[in-house]
């Protein structure tokens, strides 16, 4: 049996499994050893049920697309019989009675959900410092954040304690940690992947997507989880193409746009240089590159933090100590139970966003803030629609800097929010996007290249990302201790 199975990609493991050179149980045991050795330092896992994973491994259909492949799951997704805390004390002790649709689809494709991963509480954060449970560290430098809110999903894949993972992206929460940790992270088109069973933050923005070591692996996982779901009213009823077949078409003849609003002062020079070199590589392969404008970009963060917090205020109102979730001890009366249960169950960032969201929805402020933000959202979506009349993909940085030090922005919410300046507009407009490794900072930290595609444009997105990845070796490099 080959050594170090935890270092192999999905595609490589599939080959070994189908040749019967290894078994799914071999992968689980190898991963368990890697987690035991590495995770105490990284802090990615909140829960794992090895016995259940081995039982599933015994029954795995190796002829299925992901037969026998373990996939780690962000703790915002329901996996039947497993905890689902969304990184919050509010859901301590909750065991999911059902599978999210994307989990059911993974299982149907033969994959084995293995492990629940840490996250910013209710997906609200850009650094994983908002988890109620533990701090997750970046495997490239454990004094730095892994990004958020899917930071542990990225860190586990980068540290080789997960073969692949699922994350969720509301304003960059797949792409930003993927960039910080040097892996591939794909945010599908809104509605491409069902949100049924995803614990909601902002329902018009949330999207589930794959976090993997390679673009090919991202295509394989997306193939498994994409598709219409009648249990999700926002799910798109559109055919799912063969994403793997699109990978090797190359980028010759493709048109790539560079938005002038994304190449601004304040970007780390190493980030700018790496992204520009990435674009040059795509140009060398035959793509045509031109400058474009997304003129309403400057309003994206303000619009996002009005819309997202308003939806959070509504979605999190259900956690009141009555039906499920945390309930305070010995309340004096109903009002006391509501107040104390929510005060004890939610952390500071969640409270901040609930307060802001409640304010912008309140009488007298709805038109001034929420309605205006929705109008701005429409303008941002039109910017992308106009751009995609002339280009096939948009290239940009994922983040202005590489991963920052733990604690650096913890006391400055505005600086933390600005970490998502290049990713938020994708969620507001519903388009798809991907982060792929494209270089390193002066401190040796990963940098990500973001490609953005039109709605349901994942084929072109994966095609462009794969062409770049295959011409470089950034994705093959490992954190020092992996």
Please give the helix or strand (H or E) that residue 291 lies within, else none. strand 288-292
Residue 482's pLDDT band (cuts 50, 70, 90)? very low
Could you read off the pLDDT of 108-137 as tens digits, one per residue?
Answer: 999 999 999 999 999 999 999 999 999 999
pLDDT for residue 7 is more than 70: yes
Q: Is 244 a catalytic residue?
A: no
Residue 45, C-beta contacts closer than 8 angstroms, at least 6 positions apart: 35, 39, 72, 115, 116, 117, 118, 152, 156, 161
Go through 101-112 and write b for each residue having 16 or more CB atoms within 10 A of its CB, e for each that does not: bbbbbbbebbbb
CA distance 382 to 428: 11
pTM as predicted: 0.97
The structural domains of the chain, with segments of one domain joined by +, span 5-294+382-476
Could you read off the pLDDT of 222-239 as tens digits, one per residue?
Answer: 999 999 999 999 999 999
Which of 34, 150, 173, 441 is an active site residue?
173
Q: Is 173 a catalytic residue?
A: yes
Q: Where are the alpha helices (DSSP H) in 60-122?
A: 101-108
CA angle 144, 149, 153 (to 5 degrees): 80
Q: Give the Cβ contact number of residue 380 at 10 Å.
A: 23
CA distance 428 to 80: 31
Residue 318, C-beta contacts closer than 8 angstroms, at least 6 positions apart: none
CATH architecture of 5-294+382-476: Alpha-Beta Complex (3.90)
CA distance 336 to 338: 5
C-alpha distances out from residue 350 to 89, 320, 382, Å: 11, 14, 31
Note whether 62 and 110 are within 8 A (CB).
yes
Could you read off the pLDDT of 162-201 as tens digits, one per residue?
Answer: 999 999 999 999 999 999 999 999 999 999 999 999 999 9
What spatial distance separates the first Cα and last Cα of the chain, rounded to whole Å?
A: 20
CA angle 257, 386, 215 (to 5 degrees): 45
CA distance 370 to 320: 24
Average pLDDT, the chain: 96
Listed residue (335, 352, 339) closest to 122, CA to CA: 352
Q: Is 165 a catalytic residue?
A: no
pLDDT for residue 464 is more than 70: yes
The pair phi, psi for residue 158, each rounded to 5°, is -65, -40
Which of 88, 127, 131, 149 is an active site residue?
149
Could you read off the pLDDT of 351-390 as tens digits, one per residue?
Answer: 999 999 999 999 889 999 999 999 999 999 999 999 999 9
CA angle 322, 125, 135 (to 5 degrees): 90
CA distance 125 to 195: 19
Bridge partners (DSSP) of residue 185 are 211, 435
167 CB-side CA count, 13 A: 40
């Amino acid at each position: 049996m080959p050594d170090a199975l935890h270092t192999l990609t999905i595609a490589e493991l599939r080959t070994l499994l189908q040749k019967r050179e290894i078994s799914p149980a071999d992968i689980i045991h190898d991963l368990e050893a890697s987690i035991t050795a590495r995770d105490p330092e990284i802090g990615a896992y909140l829960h794992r049920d090895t016995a259940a994973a081995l039982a599933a491994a015994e029954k795995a259909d190796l002829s299925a697309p992901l037969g026998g492949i373990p996939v780690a799951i962000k703790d915002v997704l329901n996996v039947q019989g497993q905890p689902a805390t969304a990184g919050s004390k509010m859901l301590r002790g909750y065991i999911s009675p059902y599978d999210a649709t994307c989990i059911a689809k993974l299982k149907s494709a033969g994959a084995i959900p293995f492990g629940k991963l840490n996250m910013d509480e209710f997906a609200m954060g850009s650094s994983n410092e908002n988890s109620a449970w533990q701090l997750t560290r970046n495997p490239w430098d454990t004094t730095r954040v892994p990004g958020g809110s899917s930071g542990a999903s990225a860190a586990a894949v980068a540290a080789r304690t997960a073969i692949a993972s699922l994350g969720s992206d509301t304003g960059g929460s797949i792409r930003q940690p993927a960039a910080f940790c040097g892996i591939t992270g794909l945010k599908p088109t809104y509605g491409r992947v069902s949100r049924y069973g995803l614990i909601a933050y902002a329902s018009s923005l949330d999207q589930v997507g794959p976090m993997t070591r390679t673009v090919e692996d991202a295509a394989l996982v997306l193939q498994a989880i994409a598709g219409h779901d009648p249990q999700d009213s926002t799910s798109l009823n559109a055919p799912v193409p063969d994403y793997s077949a699109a990978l090797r078409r190359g980028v010759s003849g493709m048109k790539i746009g560079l938005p002038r609003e994304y190449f601004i002062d304040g970007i780390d020079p190493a980030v700018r240089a790496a992204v520009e070199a990435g674009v040059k590589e795509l140009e060398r392969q035959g793509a045509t590159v031109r400058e474009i404008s997304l003129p309403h970009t400057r309003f994206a963060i303000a619009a996002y933090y009005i819309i997202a917090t308003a939806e959070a205020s509504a979605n999190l109102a259900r956690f009141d100590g009555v039906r499920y979730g945390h309930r305070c001890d010995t309340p004096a009366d109903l009002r006391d139970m509501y107040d104390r249960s929510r005060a004890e169950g939610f952390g500071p960032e969640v409270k901040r966003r609930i307060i802001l969201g409640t304010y912008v929805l309140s009488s007298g402020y709805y038109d001034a803030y929420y309605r205006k933000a929705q109008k701005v959202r429409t303008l941002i979506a039109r910017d992308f629609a106009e751009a995609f009349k002339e280009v096939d993909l948009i290239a940009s940085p994922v983040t202005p800097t590489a991963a920052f030090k733990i604690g650096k922005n913890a006391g400055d919410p505005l600086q933390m929010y600005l970490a998502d300046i290049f990713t938020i507009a994708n969620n507001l407009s519903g388009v798809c996007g991907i982060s792929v490794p494209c270089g390193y900072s002066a401190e040796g930290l990963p940098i990500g290249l973001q490609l953005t595609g039109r709605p349901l444009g994942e084929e072109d997105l994966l095609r462009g990302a794969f062409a770049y990845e295959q011409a470089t070796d950034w994705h093959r490099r490992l954190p020092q201790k992996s």
